[in-house]
Every structure is written in structure tokens, then in C-alpha cells.
Chains A and B, each alone.
Chain A
Amino acid sequence: MTSSRASDERLIQALANSVAYITAACGFKSDDLAAAMERAYQELGEPPELEPSETSPRPVHRQLAKVLSLWASSQDYTDDLGDPIPIPKSGPAPSLEHLFRQAKRLFNESAQSITYADAMDLLQGHGAIVETADGTYMPGKTLEVNVHPIGSVAPFMALSYLTEYAQTTEHNIRTRVEHNESAPTYFQKVASTENFPITALPKIRAMLDGEGVAFLRQVDRFIETAARTAADDEKRVFVGVGLYMLRSDGDRFSTSQGMTVVSDDTEDGE
């Protein structure tokens, strides 16, 4: 078994553990869920056609985002106003090469690391960095921080986000079941309405693209600065903050609910 296959197996088992716990807490038996899964797989028919690279567990997007986060949060790479400064591709600090080496120290050690050359190719290819007239580089308009849109990353990454969300939910149920109402849970909150006017959808999306991303950038800057400036011998943990939008046009839990609406309806377009 290759290391990436092992990672794949662990991720699936972790998702299964959380889903089993959550559904068992709601009174379901294993056969209920297994039968539902079997039906769902049968109805799915042919799996979606994806590029082989898209099913890879390499956490490339997180590593690329880390490089850009460091650029946005490090004192050596920002100006007096805290904005990222233009930097050359190679050479001593500040440079992209040096920035990459520093970011690499923050990568998950158990994950396969992207190479510097591949990172530069991908960052330029995604428009995440752009070359200026004088040959230096600046962050581009996309992937500006360690805030990556899940829809734009490979399905395997999306699966890890789903697993992480399931783990947060499982943790919160465990806390409630095994302890008491006042035991500390992980932050997990939702604001929702069943009666949102369809014509106002672009406004809520704009709100998330504006205020939502601004908040996540603030979080990102804080967690990256903390990660970089803490003492070397301090215990480190994984921390993430996620923001997402839910939407459904009809019955939220039917098999044909709003998630399949991917046609050219203007209110959902970007």
C-alpha cells in the first residue's frame, strides 16, 4: 500500500467513524445507514469523471495557501500598512524562494510536500502570483490567503473538509452525551431561514465574498502569525475556521434538492 493510499484509507475510516457515531446518537442502526449508502451508490451510477490528479490526496492547495498566508502575515514580507510587498523570485530574503522555504516548515510533516518549482508553476497558473514590470512578484487576485474555496480544490480535499466537519459535529455530540449541557463544545453555529427571497441571493453571496472573506483573512493572519512566532518547543495542534453557505430551492433533504441546481440560474452565478 502506498503512503497516499494509506492516507486515503484513514480518511475514509475517520469519516465513517464520525458518521457512525452521529447517526448512532440519533438512534440509527448500522443496517439503516448501510442500506441508504448502498441505494445512494446504486443511484449514482457512473462516478463523476475527474482528472487523476484531482483524486490525489496531496494537500497541494493547503501548501500553496500557506506560502501566500506567510506573505500576507510576515513582518519581513509586508509594508508599514501590513500589505504584501513585491519580492523577487529567488535570492536571499525577502524572495519567493525564501518565503517557500519558510512556509515549508509549516507544512504538515506527514504530507507529501510540493516542490518549489511546482509551487511556482501552480501559483502562476492559478493567477495567485503575478509578475510586475520590474520583474518582482506580487500576490494575485485569487488564492490570496490561506482561505481556499472548497469548490475550487480537488474532491479529495473536499472529502477531508467533510471529515473534519463531521469530527467537529461528533465532538460536540460526544461532549453533550458524555458530559453535560454546559461542557465546552467547539464553535459551530448557523444562521438560517427557510423563507429567503430568491432575488436577494446575490446579496447574501456578496456579503460572504466581502465580509465573510475579510473575517477569514483576519483569522488566517492571526493563526499564521501565532504559528510562526510561538516558541519552538510549544505543543502544536491543528486549527481551522470554516465559513459556508447552505442553500436549497425545495425540500432540503430530498434526493433531488437544491444542490443539483447547477444550471444557468442567474441568482446562483458568480
Chain B
Amino acid sequence: MTNKNIEDVDALVEALADAISYVTASCGVSSNKLNAAIQRSYHELKDDDTLQGEKGPVRPSHRQIGKIVSFWRASSVYTDELGEPSPIPMNGPPPSLHHLFNEAKAQFNESAQTITFADAIDILMKNGAIQETDEGTFVLVASIKGAALNVHPVGGVAPLPLLSYIVEFAQTIAHNIRCRTKYRENPPTQFQMVASTEKFPQSMLPRVEAMLDSEGMQLLRRVDQFIETAAINAPEDEKRVFVGVGLYLLRSDGDRFAKPSLNEVNE
């Protein structure tokens, strides 16, 4: 592990601490109280043999894989007249997987460790995101959730990328509270909304999950196509920013702010 990678990981925790401390301080919670709560939690976790995480480098390989697939769906060179991804060979001039990888690579975060072409193809194949046809070309398998576009299932990636998601979520909340304190009227907040109920019948949970898997995924795919197309088509000298849209399910069987029960975890 290089020093730079360590710095990246530490920066993630510093950013998490910044965002959480801002949100909790806004609620009048002192640093002592929050730190005491965290120490208690860590103390209870210390005998948990399943937790053997190592402070490793932040390797955003899933985001890079997602970028390749997004590019395939969004670029006119790689789609047919109906806008559907075309079958392409592994190597050779465009359109090919190798060329697609190189084009997508230009869109990767420059400060991140870049995945190799061989590793990318390996992950895409193992996840069933691409399949080889009888003619020897490769097709994008749209039915594979997450891997089939730049919409990656957070639960399916390693803990470190998950840490970055919660940092980003906390930063959005901190941003919105900052706006609220600075601009009482019409604060320029980031979009962040929730629909929820405390009385949802348990037997209907599969239907909410199905709704997210279909309509929710469709919404994220449209967002993905839009942001990737905009990224591809904008003039090279235009200022670029990080943008993401997240969709998630909240669920609790009993006391929402109690520790998760084993049953809940084991479902």
C-alpha cells in the first residue's frame, strides 16, 4: 500500500467526521457525547470476529467498471439506431471493448488507482454484465442489476466504497443544513427527499423491493444515461464537477434506532 492510498482512506474518515460533527453540533450534541457513544459502540464490536477489515487503499474499481458500461450505453459509436448497446468485439479499432475501455478511462477520477483492462473484463464477465455471443462479439446484459450500468449496488461492493457513500450522504445533509442556517428563504440545497411510513405491512415488503428494482432502476438508468451523455458531449474546456444520484431503502422491524436484530440481518 502506498502512502498516497493511506492518505486517501484517512481523508475519507476525516470527511465523515467533518460532516457528522456538523450535523450533530447543529442538533446541540457535544463532541464528548458523540465520542463517548462511538467509544461504547467500538467497545461492543471488539469481540466481533467477523470484522477483520483492513485499512486498505480506496480502489474505486466498481465505479470504473460502471463507467465503462455507462459509456457503452451512452455513446453513439456504441449504440444502434434505437439507442441500444451494440455487440462489439474484444479488440481492434472502435467499436471494440478495448477502445471502449480506453475512452472510459479518460473519464476516471485521475487521483484514483486505475483498474487494468484485463481486470475490468474479468470483473465484467464474472458479474455477468457482458456475455460472449456465438459470433465472438460481446453484448451488454441489461438484466444484470447494478453491473449493467453505472448504477452499482452498494451492498455488493467492498466496505471501503460503502464508507465513501455514507460520507457523501452525510456531506449532502451537512450542506443542506448549512444552507438552511445561511439562507432562511429558498436555500440552495441539494435534492434530498424521503417517502416513509412507520406502519407498512410486513407481508408487502417484497412489493416495495420490486418497485425499486423496476421503476427505481429505470429512474437511475435515465439519470445515468443523462449524466454520462452530458459528460461525453460537453466541450473539453468546460469545468467538470462530481455529481451523483442515489436511491436507497430504509427499513426497520421494530425500534428504528435500536441495534439491528439478528433476525433482520439474517433474513
Contact = CB atoms under 8 A, between A and B. Distances in A.
A207 B226 contact: yes
A124 interface: no
Interface string A43-82: 1100111100001000000100010010000000000000
Interface stretch (B79-87, B130-138, B144-152): B144-152
A35 B26 CA distance: 20
Contact of B241 (A15, A213, A248): A248
Contacts of A258: 171, 175, 241-242
B23 A158 contact: yes
Given A20-B45, A164-B256, A174-B260, A253 B164 contact: yes
A223 interface: yes
B118 interface: no
Nearest to B38: A16
Interface string A207-231: 1110111011111101110110011
Interface string B139-176: 00000001001111111100110111111111111111
B21 A188 contact: no
A190 B175 CA distance: 19
Nearest to B256: A238
A188 B54 CA distance: 23
Contacts of B257: 10-11, 13-14, 160, 163
Most buried by B among A48, A145, A146: A48
Interface string B35-77: 1011111111100101101111000000100010010000000
Interface in A158-212: 158-179, 181, 184-201, 203-205, 207-209, 211-212
Interface residues of A, number: 145
B240 A237 contact: no
B216 interface: yes
A27 B53 contact: yes
A22 B162 contact: yes
B171 to A, nearest CB: 5
Interface in B180-195: 180-183, 186-195
Contacts of A237: 200-202, 205, 251-253
B22 interface: yes
Given A62-B196, A253-B11, A246 B170 contact: no
A69 B17 CA distance: 35
B94 interface: no
Contacts of A165: 166, 169, 248, 250
A192 B63 contact: yes
Interface of chain B, main secondary structure: helix
B156 to A, nearest CB: 7
B209 to A, nearest CB: 6
A251 B257 CA distance: 32
A198 B249 contact: no
A246 B40 contact: no
Interface in B191-233: 191-205, 207-209, 211-213, 215-217, 219-224, 226-228, 230-231
Interface string A135-175: 00000000001111111100110111111111111111111
A151 B189 contact: yes
B122 to A, nearest CB: 16
B199 A164 contact: no
B23 A159 contact: yes
A199 B243 CA distance: 12
A158 B265 contact: no
Contacts of A14: 256-259
B125 interface: no
Contacts of A166: 166
A48 B230 contact: no
A269 interface: yes
A249 B241 contact: yes
A169 B197 CA distance: 20
B67 to A, nearest CB: 7
The 3 closest A-B pairs by CB, nearest first: A185-B155, A151-B189, A240-B196
Interface of A: 8, 10-17, 19-30, 32-34, 36-41, 43-44, 47-50, 55, 62, 66, 69, 106-108, 145-152, 155-156, 158-179, 181, 184-201, 203-205, 207-209, 211-213, 215-220, 222-224, 226-227, 230-231, 234-249, 251-255, 257-260, 262, 268-270
Given A244-B169, A270-B186, 19 more contacts: A15-B24, A26-B53, A40-B14, A47-B28, A162-B169, A168-B250, A175-B265, A179-B266, A188-B248, A193-B228, A194-B240, A203-B230, A209-B191, A215-B216, A238-B253, A245-B191, A246-B168, A246-B243, A260-B175
Interface of B: 8-29, 31, 33-35, 37-45, 48, 50-51, 53-56, 63, 67, 70, 107-109, 111, 146, 149-156, 159-160, 162-183, 186-205, 207-209, 211-213, 215-217, 219-224, 226-228, 230-231, 234-235, 238-253, 256-260, 264-267
